[in-house]
Amino acid sequence: MQTQARKADDFRALHARKGAFIIPNPWDVGTARILERLGFEALATTSAGFAFSSGVPDNQVGRDRMLAHVAELCAATGLPVSADLENGFGDDPETVAETIRRAAAAGVVGGSIEDSVNRPGETVYELAHAVERIRAAAEAARSLAFPFTLTARCENFLLGIADLKDTIRRLQAYQEAGADVLYAPCITTREEITSVVQAVDRPVNFLMGTQPQRFSLAELAGMGVRRVSVGSALSTAALGAFLRGAREMKDQGTFNYAKDSAGFGEVTELLKGK
């Protein structure tokens, strides 16, 4: 298996090459191994997907449990893994820096920090404080023995604040604070995507979310996007099939859902690595 430093170099190289790559989001060891066997080149964790599998809403897992999950995924795959580290699991910059150091110790080669407060009735951090948090994360990343790829997220659109100007201002500030990749979840239009890409000089991650998207990977690459993640979408797609099957059994007493199941043998072979 590759060393963490080699994985880190490989992960950086994915962002530097021409075009865009997909970084899918597994939520447990089985889905991580299947995605690796299917030929993806890197993986990203999903806080929501793991939370749902743990029986709680997103942002309710806590740092210790999340980092244990991250470590388990890193140990299960030979691919580079980037961690969804939510808002760093605390308001103050030092807590965010400690989260980066602990995530690196868990085996990841990158991670994202959000600028959302993650408390009821609150939205995003005031800009100066948000910048200090990213700067602390970047300094922690630079202190490591390998090139940790730090992604800074502006959560405006995800939280229903459709303010493109402020989103760009924040991403530019996070860039100056040391972020390696920039990310504004839930921007959706060509204008929004190209405006963000053209306003910064770092790779941009685009979220292909739970709603059908009209852009292909090639089209996103043509707009300048370098990385495409799917967040909790694979997790909720699986849960959608689960709910349809469960409701059919409960409400109708039938079992037609099974016709869309993955083959037992196919899954077995993927997990065996063949």
pLDDT along the chain (274 residues), means of 10: 92 97 98 97 98 95 97 97 98 98 98 94 94 98 98 97 98 98 96 98 91 84 97 96 98 95 93 74
CATH value at residue 198: 3.20.20.60
At CB < 8 A and 24+ separation, what contacts does 235-240 make?
A: 235/25, 235/27, 235/46, 235/48, 235/49, 235/52, 235/53, 236/49, 236/52, 236/210, 237/210, 239/52
Any domain includes 227: yes
CA dist 138 → 71, 148, 241, 266 (Å): 21, 9, 40, 42
**Tell me, what's the pLDDT at 1?**
67
For 40, phi and psi rounded to 5 degrees?
-70, 155
**Tell me, what's the pLDDT at 240?**
96
**Tell me, what's the pLDDT at 211?**
62
Give the count of domains, the chain: 1
At residue 90's C-alpha, the angle toward residues 234 and 116, to 5°, is 55
Q: How large is the angle between the packed helices 264-272 and 29-37, nearest 10 degrees?
A: 80
pTM, 2 dp: 0.95
Rounded distance between C-alpha atoms, residue 195 and residue 197, angstroms: 6
Q: How large is the angle between the packed helices 29-37 and 63-76, nearest 10 degrees?
A: 30
Any domain includes 246: no
**Tell me, what's the pLDDT at 214?**
81
Q: Which domain holds residue 123?
A: 4-232
Rounded distance between C-alpha atoms, residue 134 and residue 120, angstroms: 22
**Tell me, what's the pLDDT at 84?**
98
**Tell me, what's the pLDDT at 273?**
67
Any domain includes 253: no
Rounded distance between C-alpha atoms, residue 111 and residue 71, angstroms: 13
Any domain includes 263: no
Any domain includes 247: no
List of residues 6+ apart from 36 with CB closer than 8 A: 43, 77, 78, 79
CA dist 102 → 28, 140, 179, 232 (Å): 19, 10, 18, 23
Any domain includes 180: yes
**Tell me, what's the pLDDT at 270?**
92
Any domain includes 188: yes
44 with 229: CB under 8 angstroms?
A: yes
**Tell me, what's the pLDDT at 210?**
62
Any domain includes 98: yes
